[in-house]
Chain A
Amino acid sequence: MQKKSYTCSRVLKSNYRKDLMFFTFLQHAWLSLRRAHYFERSIGIKLIIGFVGLSMLWYIHLLARILPGFLQEFYPDSSAHELYFSVLFVLFLSDQLMRLLGQKLPRHKIAPYLHLPVPRKKLASYTLLRGWLSPFNIYLVLVSYPFLRRVIVPDYGQTVFWLTIIGLLLIAGLSHSIVIWAKSSEKRGLVIWYAGLALAAIATWLFFSEAKEASINFGLALMSGHWAAYAALATPIAGLNYLALQNLQKSYSLVITPSASKFQGSGFMGRLFARIPVYGPYWDLEWKLLTRNKRPRANVYQWPFAIFVVLAMITSAFNESTIISFYPILLMFMGSFGFYHLQYTFSWESRFFDFIAVSSIDMKTFILAKYYFYTGAALLQLILILPVVWYFQPAAVPMLFSLMLYATGPVFALLIYLGVSNSTRLDPNKKAIFNFEGTSGILFVSILLIFVSLVPVAVAGMLLPWGKKTGIYVSTAITGLAFISTHKWWLSATARKFASKKYQNLNKYREQ
């Protein structure tokens, strides 16, 4: 016993030596990950996640095998690596866009360390360094590696291949550094970043061929190991990281003296919902939940992108032969953000479900209000996109209409009904991209079921006497309408199911 306590104190002492501080932080980060709620998932979930990960790697490998031959056939005058370099700037811009939506500022949970004798600079350096261990910095190289290996190594050898990979890592590093600097600079940096991104996108559009040429030349410079190309990437990386370090140290002071709240009152929607009888207070609650918490708010902000994607797909790639392949993807978008949000039904409220359980909230009204809210959002989305689709692709209108009915019918029914099994405590104000908080086996099953459910509906539609396409639209719309018209019945069933699982769910919602 004595020996054990001696060992512990020695470890503690050595951990607090300045030079070992970094490892102590790493150790703490590992412990916080290992002991996180989402890490204690069942082995089944871990296996499913592992399977999905391995499948993705397999697809990347397959793509690397197929793509060079494909490129050779369609672009016989260009080499595969040059074609790859020609889209390097597009990749960089889309990478920036993805990071804009998804990448978090690397904030270590620093509050417990601030009162300890830990230098802030040390904390800031650690958080900055740890930020580099982001999936955003790895995926580009991971996806490109097998393809580039296949197209560069046979003709140019290993050295050239590795020089290219280092160049790609630096490109990812530059993208990372821009984002981290902008997100750590509060408003000013973000404005500069948004403006820069918008200008770059406009310039690319206006001078596409020049940008393509420059992109190829830059890629070839990296490939040939030209020092200027590496310096052009490494210099801004160093500068931006230095600035981000300063910003992070400043932000640690803000932890102690928090800035004034930016809250501006209930707003227009709050006042509007307050006037609506019965469902008004519930919609107001839903609206506030969506707009005042980081995780659902990110989803609301992505809503215009969803509308844009639908319009882009319909106006650019829609034609008679590709119609069926659009079906499952568009189903996701036509449910609007309800499709994503309802996957975590009831878990969103987990932090205050005790309140719901003891107050005079009727569970059936609560669920009905939720359903009407997201159905209304899907309808609103359809109304917004319909004039544009009508103008460019009138043939797509029946498809979108039937898919909206299907999404708000059986899809929402399934999500809300299976959502009763979402018993995970979820913090809606915590960003949760690339972690599995709130994810459950039932969620995987429900998403799978949603997409699979379209198959029998489509097959039944083909058997109808109005032709393949029309038959599919009709069968999809009829299925959707059947669920919509019976929504009170199945939502009552959901409320009853929730009541029967009430104690079990409330117990789990309370778990930290």
Chain B
Amino acid sequence: MQINISQLQKIYGQQTVLDIDQLQISKGELLGIVGNNGAGKTTLFRLVLDLIQASGGEVQLNGQSVAGSEHWKTLTGSYLDEGFLIDFMTPEEYFYFVASLIGMSKEAADEKLRFFSRFMNDEILEQKKFIRQFSTGNKQKVGIIAAMLVQPELLILDEPFNFLDPTSQILIKRMLKEENEARGTTMLISSHNLNHITEICSRIILLEKGKIIKDLTPSNDDLQEIEKYFSVNAD
């Protein structure tokens, strides 16, 4: 899925929290978004998903404005936070519900879920628990799996490595890469962990106070440049 962002602005009161002049993301690109807290990563995702109204500009998915159509919803999978989970369902029920919304049968959903079996580590399915009773890490897994289950053309994950154990972090990276290579899924991933981002992303943008200040393709030099940016900020 091709993403075009132009003149996109989000202003709260007097404060501009996002201001992106132009950003094109090609089909099959795995874009990593990094930046400190308050840089505008989640705001950007919410604007792409039409969850908040832009103060100016627009986001187009495959040439259609997200605010003007809903067709993109069947092609998109996303997980930003726990607000994306129906916490009084069991993971199975939630997965089947998500699958049913795009007309996927239970059998097909089960087949897809097998792909995530190692990631789930026998802690998600058949637990006889509602999502609200799971640990934060396992809730995160449920959200990520639900987003990927529908085999979207565009996958958006906000801080997917948070709350996950090291094994799960490695697995999710592997799964994202596989999915990207096998199906050409366009992915937008944000993280505070530079190593994760540089390891899987084909392109990285650095946000600062709502603006894109760097747009890089990962290489050792680029990684050093980003590390330098964060260490200077810490000093």
Residues of A within 8 A of B (CB): 258, 260-261, 263-266, 270, 281, 284-285, 288-289, 292-293, 351-355, 357-362, 428-429, 503, 506-507, 509-510
B51 touches A292 (CB 8 A): no
Pull 15 A–B residue pairs with CB atoms less than 8 Å apart, ordered by A: A263-B128, A281-B100, A284-B97, A288-B88, A288-B93, A292-B89, A351-B83, A352-B87, A354-B84, A355-B84, A358-B51, A360-B70, A360-B101, A362-B70, A429-B132
Is B194 on the interface with A (CB-CB < 8 A)? no
A285 touches B86 (CB 8 A): yes
B190 neighbours in A (Cβ, 8 Å):
none
A352 touches B83 (CB 8 A): yes
Question: A507 and B83 in contact (CB under 8 A), knowing A288-B93, A360-B102?
Answer: no
B78 touches A263 (CB 8 A): no
> Per-residue CB proximity of B40-81 to A under 8 Å, as 1/0?
000000000111110000000000000000100110101011
Q: What distance in Å separates the Cβ of B53 from its nearest Cβ neighbour in chain A?
A: 4
Closest to A353 in B: B83
Q: Give complex CA distance A506, B128 in Å.
A: 31
B76 touches A361 (CB 8 A): no
B101 touches A281 (CB 8 A): yes
Q: What distance in Å separates the Cβ of A92 from its nearest Cβ neighbour in chain B?
A: 36
Q: What distance in Å separates the Cβ of A279 from its nearest Cβ neighbour in chain B?
A: 12
B127 neighbours in A (Cβ, 8 Å):
261
Q: A281-B100, A288-B88, A355-B85 are in contact. List 16 more A-B contacts (CB 8 A).
A: A261-B128, A261-B130, A270-B93, A285-B86, A288-B93, A292-B88, A292-B130, A357-B50, A358-B49, A358-B73, A359-B73, A360-B70, A360-B74, A361-B101, A503-B53, A510-B83
A289 touches B101 (CB 8 A): no
Is B90 on the interface with A (CB-CB < 8 A)? yes
Question: A289 and B73 in contact (CB under 8 A), knowing A357-B50, A359-B98, A506-B51?
Answer: no
Total number of B residues with any Cβ neighbor in A under 8 Å = 32
Q: Give complex CA distance A503, B51 in Å.
A: 6
Is B129 on the interface with A (CB-CB < 8 A)? yes
B81 neighbours in A (Cβ, 8 Å):
354
Q: Give complex CA distance A429, B87 in Å.
A: 10
Q: Give complex CA distance A270, B92 in Å.
A: 12
The 9 closest A-B pairs by CB, nearest first: A503-B53, A292-B88, A354-B83, A360-B74, A360-B73, A355-B84, A263-B128, A261-B129, A281-B100
Q: What distance in Å separates the Cβ of B186 from its nearest Cβ neighbour in chain A?
A: 15
- Which secondary structure characterizes the binding site on chain B? loop
Q: Give complex CA distance A429, B86 in Å.
A: 12
Closest to A356 in B: B86
Is B133 on the interface with A (CB-CB < 8 A)? yes
A358 touches B101 (CB 8 A): no
B84 touches A352 (CB 8 A): yes
B101 neighbours in A (Cβ, 8 Å):
281, 359-361
Question: A358 and B76 in contact (CB under 8 A), knowing A270-B93, A293-B88, A506-B52?
Answer: yes
B73 touches A428 (CB 8 A): no
B50 neighbours in A (Cβ, 8 Å):
357-358
Closest to B102 in A: A360
A270 neighbours in B (Cβ, 8 Å):
93
Q: What distance in Å separates the Cβ of B116 from its nearest Cβ neighbour in chain A?
A: 19
A285 touches B97 (CB 8 A): yes
Q: What distance in Å separates the Cβ of A79 from its nearest Cβ neighbour in chain B?
A: 55
Q: Give complex CA distance A83, B53 in Å.
A: 65
Q: What distance in Å separates the Cβ of A358 from its nearest Cβ neighbour in chain B?
A: 5
Q: Give complex CA distance A310, B129 in Å.
A: 37
Q: What distance in Å separates the Cβ of A116 from its nearest Cβ neighbour in chain B?
A: 22
A352 neighbours in B (Cβ, 8 Å):
83-87
Q: Give complex CA distance A353, B50 in Å.
A: 13
A264 neighbours in B (Cβ, 8 Å):
128
Q: Give complex CA distance A429, B93 in Å.
A: 18
B90 touches A263 (CB 8 A): yes
Closest to A499 in B: B70
Closest to B48 in A: A358
Q: What distance in Å separates the Cβ of A368 from its nearest Cβ neighbour in chain B?
A: 16
Closest to A363 in B: B70
A288 touches B89 (CB 8 A): yes
Q: Give complex CA distance A142, B102 in Å.
A: 57
Question: A351 and B51 in contact (CB under 8 A), knowing A358-B76, A359-B98?
Answer: no
Q: Give complex CA distance A351, B128 in Å.
A: 22
Closest to B127 in A: A261
Q: Give complex CA distance A429, B51 in Å.
A: 24
Q: What distance in Å separates the Cβ of B61 from its nearest Cβ neighbour in chain A?
A: 12
Q: Which listed residue (A260, A266, A288, A354) contacts B51, Cβ 8 A?
A: A354
Interface centre among B85, B93, B129, B132 (most CB of A within 10 A): B93
B98 neighbours in A (Cβ, 8 Å):
359
Q: Give complex CA distance A357, B100 in Å.
A: 16
Interface residues of B in 118-142 (CB under 8 A from A): 127-130, 132-133
